[in-house]
Amino acid sequence: MASSPTSPTSPSGKKLVNTKSGLRMICLIDDERSAFEIDEPKWQNDNDHHICNKCGAKFSFKTRRHHCRRCGKIYCGSCCTTKVALPRLSFVDPQRVCTDCVIQAKKEIEMFERYLPILLKGAEFDLGDSDAKRCKCKLNAKTYRDLMFTDVKDANSLPHENVCLTDITSIHCMTDPLNQSSDGKPQLVGINLDYFSDSRSKSIKLNVPNESLNRSTSVHYLRTLQKVG
């Protein structure tokens, strides 16, 4: 899509870019791109579409074509009327979307407002099997891309490499069948996270600490990671 840069690159590697839908604040460095950022959709060609994709209304001088900014399909004004924030597309302002995409956009807004702050705040875990090391796991606030692990006693010590959210291939829950949580389900004691790095499959075990003070925060963190992952 043709775009014209309108500002110099910021220190975070992001740039304000003017597209035909509006201003977007996007990262131009692939390795630092947020795991949640998606590209703008390709717009359907006006000349190929003579009726609304949703209600079938025939386009005319009175019934104009409108492109949904999230899926790129063409609709009539009634089927593409709502303007919502599209955080995954990094638009600065709310954008016009179709009725299907309104539902999807609301889920994404919820993810950004409810779930990402939890991942950014972080929680404590015991890393690995034997000789477990207590670490703090949190999402990198600059890129929204990597889970970072630091020693709780020494923030400069990194007990494990970063895990990029887009490299996660599966998340397995580990539960304790002998203990139930408040919802009656077996208590979550940790997760086994499979991911791809340096051209090979790897895994990392995040165990929920036993102390009651840290437990609920850590369980909440893992449940959120599952929702987002």
Contact map string, positions 209 to 228, toward Zn ion, x by CB under 5 A: --------------------
Query: Using the rule CB under 5 A, which residue among 76, 127, 206, 225 binds Zn ion?
Result: 76
| Complex with Zn ion: residue 54 or 134, whichever CB lies closer | 54
Give the three-class secondary structure for 47. helix
Least distance in angstroms from the C-beta of 92 to Zn ion: 19
Examine residue 98 and tell whether it contacts Zn ion (CB under 5 A): yes
Query: Using the rule CB under 5 A, which residue among 26, 71, 119, 147 binds Zn ion?
Result: 71
| Complex with Zn ion: residue 76 or 163, whichever CB lies closer | 76
| Complex with Zn ion: residue 43 or 196, whichever CB lies closer | 43
Radius of gyration of the chain from its Cα atoms, rounded to whole angstroms? 22
Amino acid (1-letter code) at residue 156 = N
For the chain, helix (H) and strand (E) counts, in that order, are: 3, 14
Both tokens of 83, joined, read 């303007």
Residues 148, 140 contacting (CB under 8 angstroms) = yes
Residues 23, 17 contacting (CB under 8 angstroms) = yes
Residues 191, 203 contacting (CB under 8 angstroms) = no
Closest to 125 (Cα-Cα) out of 76, 37, 195, 192: 192
Least distance in angstroms from the C-beta of 3 to Zn ion: 20
Examine residue 105 and tell whether it contacts Zn ion (CB under 5 A): no
Query: Using the rule CB under 5 A, which residue among 1, 29, 55, 103 binds Zn ion?
Result: 55
Q: In sequence order, what are the beta bridge partners of 136?
A: 124, 150
Examine residue 147 and tell whether it contacts Zn ion (CB under 5 A): no
| Complex with Zn ion: residue 99 or 175, whichever CB lies closer | 99
Interacting residues with Zn ion between 23 and 52 (CB under 5 A): 52
Residues 20, 41 contacting (CB under 8 angstroms) = no
Least distance in angstroms from the C-beta of 96 to Zn ion: 9
Closest to 29 (Cα-Cα) out of 197, 148, 116, 145: 145
Examine residue 65 and tell whether it contacts Zn ion (CB under 5 A): no
Examine residue 68 and tell whether it contacts Zn ion (CB under 5 A): yes
Examine residue 79 and tell whether it contacts Zn ion (CB under 5 A): yes
| Residue given tokens 């795991």 in the structure block | 35
Q: Which residues bind Zn ion (CB under 5 A)?
A: 52, 54-55, 57, 68, 70-71, 76, 79, 98, 101
